[in-house]
Amino acid sequence: MCSYIIQQLLATPDLDTLYYFCSSHDIRDTSLQILRTLALQLLRRHPDMASMISHEFVYQGTSCGKAQLRVLIPQLLEISPSARIVIDGIDECSTEIQKLLLKDLQSLCLGGNSRCKILLSSRKEVHLAEKLSKKPQISLDGRDEVTSDIRLYVKYQITKLKTSNEDLLKTIESILVHKANGKSLCFECVGDTLSFSRYVPLGAVGG
């Protein structure tokens, strides 16, 4: 879902689209990695900004830490004509990292820079729900469209199984859709083997 949103934003003229996909397998400092990624994406869109970084940081021998990025990114966003930031799977991070991320990301939209908007995609975590309760939200819980999309995805994936037993395929499809319970079920068909990875709940909270 976020990939599609990002593709649409990237096709929008005069709009800087920045994004990051969080992962529970990421052992790095996710908050630092996200800030670095956002800064890098901005620089790739506007190479002329590199001279500012050279004078402000590189020539001064300053390291690329959180403190510097918290100063740098708002400066870059001020130069940007308009920006949209999409962070997917913030619930994959620990609660402590979530708190740091929300604080850092929300600060990017404060002050005089009203041209930057942020979309967060996440499960309905308690901390996130509390902090973003006053922000516009879109909930996909219980939506028929979600179940329909999951069924289409499952139907496509199980066609890769090497069997002509239609009843078996229908049974597998029914079980997977039922077990998904409104969540996208990630799995891979390799030959005649069905390999499961994890459930990725669908939901979005945005600011």
**Integer CA distances (angstroms), 113 to 70, 75, 82, 85, 164, in order:** 14, 10, 9, 13, 59
Interatomic CA distance for residues 17 and 6, integer angstroms: 7
Task: Indicate the domain borders of the chain.
Answer: 2-135, 144-201
- pLDDT on residue 167: 83
- pLDDT on residue 19: 94
Query: pLDDT in tens for each of the 207 residues of the chain?
Result: 889 999 999 999 989 999 999 887 776 778 888 888 998 999 898 888 887 777 767 666 666 778 888 888 888 888 888 999 999 988 888 888 888 888 888 777 665 555 888 888 887 776 777 777 788 777 777 677 777 887 888 887 777 777 777 888 788 878 777 766 655 444 444 444 444 443 333 333 333
Interatomic CA distance for residues 156 and 172, integer angstroms: 12
- pLDDT on residue 152: 83
Q: With helix as H, strand as E and coil as C, how does 46-99 read?
A: CHHHHHHHHHHHHCCCCCCCHHHHHHHHHHHHHHCCCEEEEEECHHHCCHHHHH
- pLDDT on residue 179: 67
Task: Say which DSSP state 2 is in.
Answer: H
- pLDDT on residue 114: 58
pTM score > 0.95 for this model?
Answer: no
Strand partners, 187: 196
Task: Read off φ and ψ for residue 185, nearest 5 degrees.
Answer: -100, 115
